[in-house]
Amino acid sequence: MSDWDGLRSTVEAMRAGLDLEMPGPGVHRREKLIDAFQRGDVGAEAIRAGARRVLHLLERVGAFEAPEISDERAEDRPETRALIRRAGVDGMVLLKNAGALPLAPRKGARIAVIGPNAKTARAMGGGSAQLNPHYLVTPWDALREALPDAVLAYELGADNRRLAATITGEIVADYYIGRSPGFAGVAVEV
């Protein structure tokens, strides 16, 4: 399945085994896939195989037996918390551990916590990735609780705001004809 609006091809995606374009209705499937099939760029067996995989998924999750979408429910269970924690740990990548991890609760240990989300709990994305967790813990608070004798230092680091801050200084724009700055400039605007 593609990320939302992440698909940029028809033939290449089919050859790579991408079976479902999201969100639907797709842009790079439907008529474009029919055209690719008619040109001979995508074979009927590849289309059938992709459709079989989607149907198998629907069968596996019980969508044929219960096609209605059930109401959301909140179930805060210890086994679910353990599964989520294990998935998070298993999904982490450590490029090199030179004895730094796991963090040992040494008195006076100095730890730099860097990043705009270190003191802000981020637990959701947009659209179908949005969720309302039972509770939130910031990385800063988790480190503070796990290592009460450590000295934590915070810095913002890179900013991750959706929109960049407004520029208040002077801006100069040079306009050129052609694709290279080697061409003669046609206008300068301040």
Our answer to whether residue 3 is catalytic in this structure is yes
Model pLDDT, residue 91: 86
pLDDT mean for each 10 residues of the chain (190 residues): 90 92 88 95 94 94 87 88 89 79 78 91 73 86 91 89 80 75 64
Copy the structure tokens of residue 39.
């040109």
pLDDT on residue 188 = 67
Of the chain, the end-to-end C-alpha distance in Å amounts to: 47
- Tell which residue, 57, 53, 60, 55, has the closest CA to residue 17: 53
In this predicted structure, what is the pLDDT of residue 190?
65
177-181 long-range Cβ contacts below 8 angstroms, 24+ apart? none
pLDDT at residue 124, as a whole number: 72
Length of the chain: 190
- Which structure tokens are listed for 165? 């801050």
Cis ω before 25 (30° cut-off from 0): yes
pLDDT at site 130? 74
Contacts of 66 (CB under 8 A, 6+ apart): none
